Amino acid sequence: MTEASASPSASKHERFALGLLMFLLGGCGLAYEYTLSKIASDLLGNSVQQWATMIATMLFAMGLGAEVQKHTPANSLADRLISTQVLLAVLGGFGPLIMIHGFALLPQIYIIIQYSLAFAVGMLIGYEIPLMMRINEEAEPEMRINLAQVLKMDYVGALVGALLWTFLLIRYLSIDRISFIVGLTTISSAILCYILYRKKIARPQLRIAELVVGGALVTAGLLMGRSLTLKAEQFLYQDPVITSLTSPFQHIVLTKNQSGNLRCYINGHLQFNEADEHIYHENLVHPAMHLATRREKILILGGGDGLALREVLKYPDVQSVSLVDLDPMMTELAATDPNLIRLNGGSMQDPRLIRKEAAGITEGPEFIQTQPSQHEKFSAASHPTATLHVINLDAAEFVKSAPGRFDVVIMDFPDPNSPDLAKLYGRPFYDHLERLLHPGGILVQQSGSTFQAREAYLCIGRTLKAAGFDAVPYHDNIPSFGEWGWWIATVGMPASHTRGGLEKIPELVVSTRYLTPELIQSSLVFGKDQLVSKHQDFTSLTQPRVYHYHLQGWNIQEIP
């Protein structure tokens, strides 16, 4: 690297140090992009849009940063590089806290805060890479070699940073801890830069002071980050936050007011309110269970909170229940958190439970089995009445290869507010479900607001019908959400037969807090033209129409 002034041994060591420095810069830069994009999607939803626009903003800013660096004098390159890295560590480390506080306290200008932060971080990342090239130019004036030395390790670092962030950091650490750990790594790279280029530094004492102050700030943030994040996050919710967890898949928050009322939020969106969740879950489960000619084998897709399972376990003739939920953190919380246990009746603690967490599905003669993995956890597994299986797997993957058939399939998914969720409301998914149902089996789909997102609701019904189901709509009012709807569907049984069966339920064979046969009958009645749509399309793999209708209904963006 420094052929003019260093021995061959020193040159080799310096080239290694340069490679390590660029590796760290590339990895940290990519980690900052992912971390800020994750926070943006947690706060605003619509994860694909937020990730795309945040990363695009940062890339654009990196280009401007590269443009700005050309005005940096040659005699201050090393000083500017260290200062930039320290500022990047502090700004990137505290970035999630800045975004959460901005979202809660300054909602009118939050978008400006979010993209200004992304722009600033991108500028700093884009500014430092050309500085490295200019510093290295003295030792390696040939452009092709200089570019290879600097950019090669930067791109390798970006790859490793992406893999570590995706498969390690976000799996085991909260997002605030990730940002501060990345910040400390950036401080480490700044220290390495100081050691490597100490002879080129014009103001070494000032640079040391910057490193000490920056390192102290980021370290303090790491040590206090959890409490700082909880205090910041509390501004987002009316009731006190009692649990805040981030998994690789979602951000889960539980709040509880002075009256003991529990609410659950995922990525900032209310999932249930203890005051009225029973209205939703009784409507979701009991019409389908009463309509079914048999209910020995039940499949619940989603529902990791155990609330739908609570209702299913009221039926003594159920022999097997398989609950498939993507997030093991959610199902573990439902089985261990005292507040959720109180609400779900301990359904996820049932002594019959078999927990399967990283499940690869194999053939089984009478029930779902999973291939062994190092992540499996087992509980007691036998009961004379039923066997329960909790399988942490993407529902779309599960239905492709699940063995056996089910009498009732209950789908308790979040609303289709992203393309990933929209696939769970699409025809390919329903085609696989048709194969999983016994003849005469019943399928029920949570389908969102029949008022606010009416076109999305109707699109779900059209998609079910396109997949060969005879589907019947029903709805009810849930105070926390407003008018809410479901579709109940069968294969080979006319919709009129399904509707007639629901209208003629004489009594409910299990106890309920809210639902009655009369309410089931009234739920089949809609207002004038409420089920009429000018559209005839449905959701497919390449055309997630329900997603676009959902965004349109909630005024998130215009339908294309």
Long-range pairs of 203-207 with CB within 8 A, sequence gap ≥ 24: 203/79, 206/79, 207/79, 207/82, 207/83
User: How far is residue 191 from each of residues 21, 24, 212, 485, 509, measured CA to CA in Å?
Assistant: 10, 12, 10, 58, 70
- For the 8-234 domain, the top CATH level (class) is mainly alpha
Q: Where are the domains of the chain?
A: 8-234, 241-270, 274-553
Q: What is the pTM of this model?
A: 0.79
User: How far is residue 503 from each of residues 148, 247, 390, measured CA to CA in Å?
Assistant: 73, 42, 33
- Residue tagged active-site, from 350, 412, 470, 476: 412
- What is the residue whose two structure tokens read 């690869």? 360
Q: How far apart are CA 320 and CA 126, in angstroms?
A: 56
Would you state the structure tokens that stand for residue 333, as one six-digit string?
């919380």
- Tell me, yes or no, if the two domains 8-234 and 274-553 fold the same way: no
Q: How far apart are CA 235 and CA 415, in angstroms?
A: 25
Would you state the structure tokens that stand for residue 441, as one six-digit string?
């089996």
Would you state the structure tokens that stand for residue 447, as one six-digit string?
């389908």
- Catalytic-residue membership of 317: no
3-state secondary structure of 28: helix
Q: Which CATH number fits domain 274-553: 3.40.718.10, 3.30.360.10, 3.40.50.150, 3.40.50.2300?
A: 3.40.50.150
User: Using CB atoms within 10 A of its CB, is residue 410 exposed (0-12), middle (13-18) or buried (19+)?
Assistant: buried
First to last CA, the chain: 54
Give which of 410, 481, 396, 496 is closest to 445, Cα–Cα: 410
Residue by residue, DSSP assigns 378-406 as ------SS-EEEEE-S-HHHHHHH--S-E
**pLDDT tens track, the chain, 560 positions:** 443 443 343 467 777 887 888 899 999 999 999 999 988 888 886 677 788 999 999 999 999 999 999 899 988 999 999 999 999 999 999 999 999 889 888 888 999 999 999 999 999 999 988 888 888 776 667 777 767 777 888 889 999 999 999 888 888 888 888 999 999 999 999 999 999 888 889 999 999 999 999 999 999 999 987 787 778 788 888 899 999 888 878 889 999 999 999 999 998 889 999 999 999 999 999 999 999 999 999 999 999 999 999 999 999 999 999 999 999 999 999 999 999 999 999 888 765 555 554 444 433 323 333 332 222 332 323 334 678 889 999 999 999 988 789 999 999 999 998 888 899 999 999 999 999 999 889 999 999 999 999 999 999 999 999 999 999 999 999 999 999 999 999 987 888 889 999 999 999 999 999 999 999 999 999 999 999 998 999 998 888 899 999 988 887 644 33
Q: How far apart are CA 482 and CA 448, in angstroms?
A: 10
